[in-house]
Amino acid sequence: MEIQNLFKRYEIKYLLGKRELDAVLSAFPGRMIDDEYGETAVCSLYFDTPDYRIIRRSLEKPFYKEKLRVRSYGTPADDGAVFLELKKKYNSIVYKRREKMSLTSAENFLKNPDAHSQISAEIAYFLSFYPDVGPTTFIGCVRQAYYGVDDRDLRITFDKDIVCRSYDLDLRLGLYGNPVLPRDMYLMEIKTSGAMPLWLAGTLAENKIYPTSFSKYGRAYENALREIKNKEVNYG
C-alpha cells in the first residue's frame, strides 16, 4: 500500500466505555473493514519547549495550533521506520504532513534540519520558530483501526491502554508509562475528509455518544500538573 504523507481531514474524538464501544462495533459489519495492520502499538515522542509553550497554547483552544512528533508503529530499532510528523489544526480542519525515515535519520534531522522537500521544509521552519524545542513526552497506546467499505477516506480508530512518560524519552524503549485514561475507557477517533455517513451518525445518536475535546498529550500534561499540585499540598 502506498504511504500517504499529506492529510486534510476532520478528526472527531469520543471517549467510550465498553458498552459504547460494543455498540459502535456492532454497526461495522458490511460497512467498515479492519485495517491491514490489525491491532498495533502506536508510540509517539512529542516535542515542546522547556516551559511547554506549545501544549499550553493548544489547551487554550486557539483558532490555529500545531505540534511536532516522531511516531512509530511498534518499537523501532535504529534503522526502523518512523514518521516525523507536523500536525496543524486550523478552523477545525486537521492538516498533517509527515516524512517516513529511519529513527536515526529522524534524530539527526531534528538536530540539524536539512530541508530536502516541501514537508521537511515546513518541519525545519517549525524548528527554527521554536529553537529551544526538544522531546518532552512519550505517548503510547494500542490501536485498532478500520476503514470504510465504500469510502476509504473514512477511518475510525480505537485507542486503549494509553500511557505517557516524561522520562526515558526514546522510542527504542517501547510501550510503557503512566496511564492517561482508566483501563476500561477507549478513545475513538473518526477521521474523514467529508460528511459523516448517516449510519454512523445514527449509531452515535442512538447510543448517546457525543464528541469531546481530547488530546492525549494535553491530558498527559494536565495529569502531570495535577500530580505536582497534589505533592505540594501533601508536603507543603
Residue 18 has pLDDT above 70, yes or no: yes
| pLDDT tens profile 85-112 | 999 999 889 999 999 999 999 999 999 9
Distance between CA atoms of 24 and 147, rounded to whole angstroms?
14
Residue 233 has pLDDT above 60, yes or no: no
Residue 232 has pLDDT above 70, yes or no: no
Say what the pLDDT of residue 231 is. 63
- Average of pLDDT values for 127-132? 96
Domain boundaries, the chain: 6-235
Residue 3 has pLDDT above 80, yes or no: no
**Under a CB-based contact definition with an 8 Å cutoff, are residues 223 and 164 in contact?**
yes
- In this prediction, residue 141 has a pLDDT band, given cuts at 50, 70 and 90, of very high
Residue 4 has pLDDT above 60, yes or no: yes
State the chain's mean pLDDT as an integer: 94
Q: Is the pTM of this model over 0.85?
A: yes
Distance between CA atoms of 126 and 130, rounded to whole angstroms?
6
6-235 to CATH, choices 3.20.100.30, 1.10.10.1590, 3.30.413.10, 3.40.50.800: 3.20.100.30
| pLDDT tens profile 37-84 | 889 999 999 999 999 999 999 999 898 999 999 999 999 999 999 999
Q: E-assigned strands of 127-214?
A: 134-148, 155-165, 178-179, 186-192
Distance between CA atoms of 71 and 46, rounded to whole angstroms?
9
- 46-81 CB burial, b ≥16 within 10 A, e <16: bbbbeebebbebbbeeeeebbbbbbbbeeebeeeeb
Say what the pLDDT of residue 42 is. 98
